[in-house]
Amino acid sequence: MVEFVEHTYQVFYTGMDRQLVIEDQLRQNEEEPTWKKEKQPGRPNNRQQHGDVKRQDRHSTARLQGGKPPQSWGPASDSLGRHVVAILKRDPRRLQEVCSRLLGKQLPGTLRMYVWTDVLMKEERRKIKDHSVNVEKMLRERFGRGIVQGVQALKLKSATRSPISGLVENAVIEMYDRTPGMQAYSQPEQLKEAARVLNILYTYDRSYEPYLIHWLFPLQLVYREGCDQEEHPYELAMYLKLLVDSRFPKWPEVFAIAERVMDRLKQEDRHLHRHLLECSLKNVSFDPKDFLVQLIHKEKEQAQSGGKGGQKPVQPSPELLANPLIFVRKWVGEGFVSVLDAQAVLLVWDQAFMTDWKHKVLEDFCLVILLLLRDLLLQATDYHTMKGVLLLEPCRLYTADIQRGWMHLQQGGLPADLPTLNRRRPSTAIPAQSPLRTRPEPSPSPRFDLEPDELGPVGLRNFKVKLILLRQRPGDGASEGEEDWVAHFDHKNVRLTASVYFGDIKLRSKSTVTEPRLKDKKQNLQSNLGEYVDTYSIEFKEDLVFNNLDPSQFHGVDFGPDSQPYAIVRASYRGKGEDDKASVPVNLGWVKIPVYRQELSQDAAGEGGPPMRGARPHWDVIEGEQTITVVPGNVPETAVGKVPRSFTDKDVVREGSMLYATVFDPSADQKGEDSDAEEESDADVVPTVDSDPFVFFNPETAEDQPPVPDNSEGIDLYVDRVQFIPDNATIIKVTGRVMKSNLDNLPDISAFAELDSSARSPQLAYRLPLNTDPDNRKPMSHDALVLLRVYTVDKDSKTLLVIGSCLFPLFVEEDGQTRFNVGGHQLRLRRGMPDTKKPLLASSLDNVIPVPGASILLRLMPHGEEMIPAPPYKSGFYHSEKSRPNLSEMRILRDFQSDTLFPLSVREAIHRLQIAQGMPPAEEESDAALEQWYRDRLDAKKHLPPRTPASHSDLLRAVRYHIQTGIGIQVEQAHGVNGEGLYVNVFARVSPGAEARELENTPEGYGGEDKIITTKHDFTSLQKSPKWLDPPSIIHPHLEPNTCLLIQVFGLDAVYTPHPDGTERGTVTGKRGQDVRLTTESQLGWTAVPLFDRGCVMAGVHNVPLFMGMPSTEFLTNIAVKSVELSMKEALNTGSDRLCKEYSSLVVKVYDAHYNPEECIPIPIRDELLKIDNVSKFKKTMGGVKSKPLSQLVLQSLDKKLQKQGTSSEVYQREEGFYDEAMGETFYNLMENALMNAGYGPL
């Protein structure tokens, strides 16, 4: 198989090379675009000549390309991109998947053009509900009509020669001359094209700003197809208009982004932030043209504030223009085009388009650039040098460094690591007098026997650190020679940061976030050298996993003398300063850990010769525990792989300090130090997302079992595990009793979970021997049953509750014979107890409501001297047929598996419960003390009143809300609406709470203002109490206590006229033949339904009161910060809203969408909101009102003969469907238009 794979790869590799050579030849044979050709002789332009002279001294990518603009992509990537585009054209729905996989990468040309175009047109596509419409064609036609109208209005001969064409041309030339990243593209045709596009845009909507030249530049680079065609500038102008209107951040958003960037910089690097502010106050001088974006926006604000026509224009404020914040505003406001190289600009814009221009993307790029320039910025001494770094140096950064830095942040890396990613830092750049250095010429690429290949994932865990800290040197006084932080050393402030390197290049970094645990502490010991030292042994229970390690992206980069991958783990200490804020961290020391070894595939290399062409080396993870001596001090910036230095007298961390860590492969992860033993015992204690939450019984597991004893022999009952306890449970115990056994003096069952087992599926090592005394054995009754109950402490109320119960028969009848029910069994937990008025049977709980997904694992085994360990659940040992989850439960179990908020272990669950009860656990609490507290907390005698049984846990809170799963909503019926003779429908939308309004939508698009509309009616219901038959709708709001569903009831006063031949639906008009419209009279009432209750869905059938008209502004303001009930009461008290005179109400079913409607747990009827007024009056209206049936609305549209036949005629049945369809579509269109006009977006 290995040989076949290698041969296949060689064939593919050679074929790809051949194809790329052919494509290269075709490209060379193609005629170059005219804008790349040599300039035609003509009248010289002094401005251009002057600019050319200036450009020779500036950084420019043109110098690297022989004077020609560089290519933005290669033939190999573009060939692959074209194939991806072909797939996307067949299945556009996969675009989001493609973007998520390519995030952080630069897109090839064809794919980039496809992605950018799709995103630019997304907003227009949302506005059009008819998916058959060609959106691009519609936009082109609309833009063309606008151009024609503009030409006529301005009385122009051509749209490319607007009244401001001279101004535009001069601005374009000056902008290309001033911007380093654009200079390489300053060809006559490029400049003319830019001027034409901006003139066309001005003709279209009279808009022009100088910064649009920057925004247009990336579009010119991307949309090169057809650049020699006459309509190409019009196409670019249309794309630029779409960018301005729907994608690029508005100016207030730009300013907010800049503010957040500086806030993050202050948080992550206070030293740099303070230094920039100090520089901004020294030697301040500026050119207003550098901040044209800021001044233009200020002028607009002044104009919009109502300033007089003769008012003076905005004068630049020295304080504002000197502030470092203004530079970040300039970066973002000009799309980074003014400060970055063209390739880096395309990288930034690629990420922006692939994430739909999320502001966080732009923030992260700003932070990356600032921290990559950190060393240069710290060398700045005043405003002038700071300005030079912030405006000129970003263009000299390597695009790959910016890319690595941005991906570093996306993968959770530390911002503090970003400065080391800049390969042009002052320590490695060519020395110069000024901190503003010129880019060195690239050094020749080093020769490797094998190029670095992509590294597989690697992880580090089980960190243990032994720190020996110097307290007092020989001869020093009691306090002299002692570091202050050593005297107040707190092990909780130690953090580990692991970084994976390839040579001197850092690929990824991650830090521990949990507090370490102190295992041992010895203070004031005297060493052999006469020093007094403190010794601490601490451990970290945290895994640091590194994915997407790809050093091949740095092809041609000098990795340094140690061109191998390895990990550096650095220990740091950050105590508290005088102001109780975190002080500057102290680097305690570091270790180097080998984590990979390089292997070649078999037969990939010849004997003693170089590797064969196409041979692919791979890196294997070196798994196992590593013990390394700690090297004191900081990690060196270069030559990290050299022999570490020895200890010196100045080091606080003394010789003998060690670090222990386990290297593991996450792709084949089996937790624990002995994975083989674990697999033999119970490797699925903590079910993972990839494991199956339910396993069918495997008969093969029972083949090697011992023979079944008869009913007079001994038997052992094992309680192995409780599977998947609900979200509102914490710690558990299992109690039980053997019933009807004919045995005497049997103890009650009381089983507790093992501390280090899974908190979600706790393991219990419990055995109850039955009938094992040889001197007192007697036959057991065949009716013997075991009743088990699972107790917990409720997460919210902290009271002792019962999760569920089950009954297990000790005997089973098979082939006419009764025998012990030996083997493994998985039994459902059910919420209730058997009926004491009926005989107790094994089936007594079968009709009791099951606890969703919860079960218990038991074994009945022949008696043995020693306890038999439980087999792995995934082995199929347990009879699980009766516990098979339905579709809803499988959805719940999958979410349980992926839940990161639930405690991992029983030990952690105990600690959390102690903290929640105001009893922080002691650091050195022994397992015995912890188990005793655990047992006491679940003791019913200590936590329940005498003779008071524990209540059952609330099934409505068994599953926490997940935004991906959502909430099911079904509007069922209205009672007493004033809808006689009207077509009544309901529109509902999510009204987010105050905090939810600040949250962005999830990547899947969840968290928006979901909308619901009813369209299907029960025509047997009454016109004043209509029922709807629409299936439930699923909404996905953000979890926020005050988020609710705002519902409005509308009535259309419309007439339906059947089609003359009766074969298709008829028409809908007003009663006088006019178009149907929504008016204030159409609004029959409104109400609101709460959606959440303490992290769960407020499931139930809600009976809610209807108010008149539409909700007031006061109510809409209140529900964002107050509950629905309180907001309604205040609305009535203040008179801002009034109830419907008929005491109308609405019935709305709300349930957690984990459940399918037919599998949903029982939900209560909720009348709480009716109590804001006279409940009896609401109930009276719900009891019935006099009204005609809905069917009358259909009958009155038919002729009299058909009306006499009633609702049973075939014609009526057909027209009923046509009526509902036509009226429903009319209401849908009217509602959508109203929403669009109100700014809520389409349905």
Residue 1126 tokens read as 């309180």
Q: Cα separations (Å) of 20 from 16, 65, 76, 711, 1012?
A: 6, 21, 6, 79, 52
- CA dihedral over 271, 272, 273, 278, signed as positive or negative: positive
Report CA dihedral (108, 111, 117, 120) to the nearest 10 degrees: -70
CATH number of the 967-1177+1184-1238 domain = 2.60.40.150
Q: Cα separations (Å) of 896 from 421, 723, 774, 1119, 1155?
A: 39, 11, 46, 32, 14
Q: Which amino acid type is present at position 334?
A: E
3-class secondary structure, 956: helix
Query: So where are the chain's domains?
Result: 1-30, 134-246, 251-308+318-340+357-411, 458-605+615-668, 686-916, 967-1177+1184-1238
Q: Which amino acid type is present at position 1197?
A: S
| The pLDDT of residue 63 | 35
| The pLDDT of residue 470 | 82
What are the E-state strand segments in 179-302? Answer: none
Rounded to 5 degrees, φ, ψ at 193 are -60, -45
What's the pTM value of the predicted model, to 2 decimals?
A: 0.51
CATH number of the 686-916 domain = 2.60.40.150
- CA dihedral over 1038, 1040, 1041, 1047, signed as positive or negative: negative
Decide: 123 and 246 in contact? Cβ < 8 Å. yes
Rounded to 5 degrees, φ, ψ at 593 are -120, 120
- CA dihedral over 414, 416, 417, 421, signed as positive or negative: positive
d(CA 269, CA 418): 11
The H or E element that residue 538 is part of is strand 532-540
Residue numbers in the chain where pLDDT is lower than 50:
31-69, 292-317, 427-451, 477-482, 555-556, 561, 579-582, 602-615, 670-690
DSSP 278-293: HHTTSS----GGGGHH
d(CA 950, CA 968): 32
| The pLDDT of residue 1177 | 93
Q: How many CA atoms lie within 13 A of 512 on its CB side?
A: 24
Pairing of strands 850-862, 715-723: antiparallel
Residue 223 tokens read as 């949309």
Q: Whose structure tokens read 């299936």?
A: 1031
| The pLDDT of residue 424 | 79
| The pLDDT of residue 530 | 62
Residue 349 tokens read as 């814009």
Decide: 258 and 366 in contact? Cβ < 8 Å. yes
| CATH T-level assignment (fold) for domain 251-308+318-340+357-411 | Cyclin A; domain 1 (1.10.472)
d(CA 630, CA 633): 9
Rg of the chain in Å (alpha carbons): 37
Report CA dihedral (936, 941, 943, 948) to the nearest 10 degrees: 150
Task: With CA atoms as reference, report the closest residue to 803 among 746, 844, 856, 866.
Answer: 856
Fold equal for 251-308+318-340+357-411 and 967-1177+1184-1238: no
Contacts of residue 963, defined as CB under 8 A and 6 or more positions apart, other chains included, come to 1002, 1006, 1007, 1036, 1037, 1038, 1039
